[in-house]
Amino acid sequence: MFDSLIDQEQPIRFLTAILQGGAIPHALLFTGIEGIGKQTSAIAFAMASNCTDSIIDDKHKKSSVSGPCRKCRSCKKIISGNHPDIILIKPSGSFIKVDQIRNLCSSLAMKPYEARLRVILIPDAQAMNPEASNALLKVLEEPPDRTLFILTAVRLSDLLPTIVSRCQHIRFNPISPKNLEIFLVEKQGLDSHGAMIIAAMANGSISKALSMNRTNWIKRKNWIITEVESLSSGTTGSILAFAEMLSQKKETLSDSLEIINTWFRDLVLFRYYPEKIINKDLIDRIQSISQKIMISSLLSKIKAVESAQKDILANTNSRLTIEVLIMRLAKV
């Protein structure tokens, strides 16, 4: 059932035990970074709970099958997203709003149409605004019969403590760089060199690794590093032009800052732990440049990048933030 998951042995054991034991709670909460299999697991659990080839009595006392067949009518409906009792609640804009939860609660007053166990999937549960969170809390306090809520979030602290306390918590782990590298080579056809670089920079997330592969990320990484290297000798115009190119692409801005941060960290690390650098494809450049720049200067640059990252997360003016950062990097 969970055969597509990587490095999630403990969550798999826990979920399989729940299915086989039959003591299905009324709410599960999956936490962990984006792109490690939380939503995939939620869908698989919903399928296993309703697969017509598995044997689960009406009170969910026992299941003789640990996974879904993927071929029965119920499984096919869930896979296609057309099952009437598998309900997905997604953010409307930036937030999950109170009206969405109220409408959900109204529909839960009726019995499931055809499912043995109705499943409410709330990915990105941290997107609930306070009113929506309180509305959900009320239904979790008196959960409807034959209904399971599966919430996913990055951290427990992203949700109301009272919601967390009413859910069975399962933590998912970041995927190891080695296993990400194997996945990219075997499943995506990357060469081992490119897979190693992307796996090292993906922070344990399959979805991030796949996105990096689709967007020709290695080429962009090398371009950004080359531009950063030349900042100290550039004109004010070229420096501001580089800052503008970075800030215009808001969807990649966070990754761009992480590339810059990792580059400077590699320059520091090379002096002490050269085997731990991430940009192994640029090791000759790193070796040459690392000896020419004082550690204090590199640490100042890292501090400047981290400050800009915090400002971007706080929704400050991205163009101004990047202009200030690039000017600082050119002078430090």
Say which CATH topology domain 9-171 has. Rossmann fold (3.40.50)
In sequence order, the β-bridge partners of residue 152 are 30
pLDDT tens per residue across span 287-316: 999 988 999 999 999 999 999 999 998 888
Task: Quote the pLDDT of residue 69.
Answer: 85
User: Which tokens go with 173?
Assistant: 């782990």
CA dist 270 → 275, 282, 285, 314 (Å): 8, 11, 11, 32
Q: Are 128 and 7 in contact (CB under 8 A)?
A: no
Report CA-CA distances (Å) from 161 to 132, 155, 157, 297.
14, 11, 7, 43
Give the C-alpha separation, 144 to 237, whole Å. 63
CB within 8 Å of 299: residues ≥ 6 apart: 268
Tens digits of residue pLDDT in 32-71: 999 999 999 999 999 999 998 864 444 444 444 456 888 8
* Token representation of residue 181: 């590298």
Cβ-contact 149, 24 below 8 angstroms: no
For 28, 50, 205, the CA distances from 67, given in Å and listed in that order, are 18, 10, 25
Closest-CA residue to 128 (of 87, 99, 103): 99
Backbone angles phi, psi at 32, to 5 degrees: 145, 170
Would you give the end-to-end CA distance of the chain in angstroms? Answer: 53
Cβ atoms 182, 151 nearer than 8 A:
no
Query: What's the pLDDT score for residue 62?
Result: 44
Q: What is the DSSP string of 221-247?
A: HHHHHHHHHTGGGS-HHHHHHHHHHHH
Q: How far is CA 275 from CA 81, 123, 199, 200, 295, in A?
A: 46, 38, 16, 13, 18
Supply 289's token pair: 């440049």
Residue 144 is predicted with a pLDDT of: 92
CA–CA separation, 138 vs 144, rounded Å? 11
Residue 276 CB partners (closer than 8 Å, separation 6+): 269
- Cβ count near 176 (within 10 Å): 13
Sorted by sequence, the CB contacts under 8 Å of residue 324 that are 6+ apart come out as 308
pLDDT in tens, the chain (332 residues): 677 889 999 999 999 999 888 789 999 999 999 999 999 999 999 999 999 886 444 444 444 445 688 889 999 999 999 999 999 999 998 899 999 999 999 999 899 999 999 999 999 999 999 999 999 999 999 989 999 999 999 999 999 999 999 999 999 999 999 999 999 999 999 988 889 989 988 989 999 999 888 888 889 999 999 999 999 888 999 999 999 999 988 888 988 999 999 999 999 999 999 988 989 889 999 999 998 899 999 999 999 999 999 999 888 899 999 999 999 999 85
Q: Which fold has domain 215-331?
A: Zinc Finger, Delta Prime; domain 3 (1.20.272)
DSSP single-letter state for residue 216: T
Query: What are the sequence ranges of the domains in the chain?
Result: 9-171, 176-214, 215-331
The counts of H helices and E strands in the chain are: 15, 5
Structure tokens at 35: 């792109």
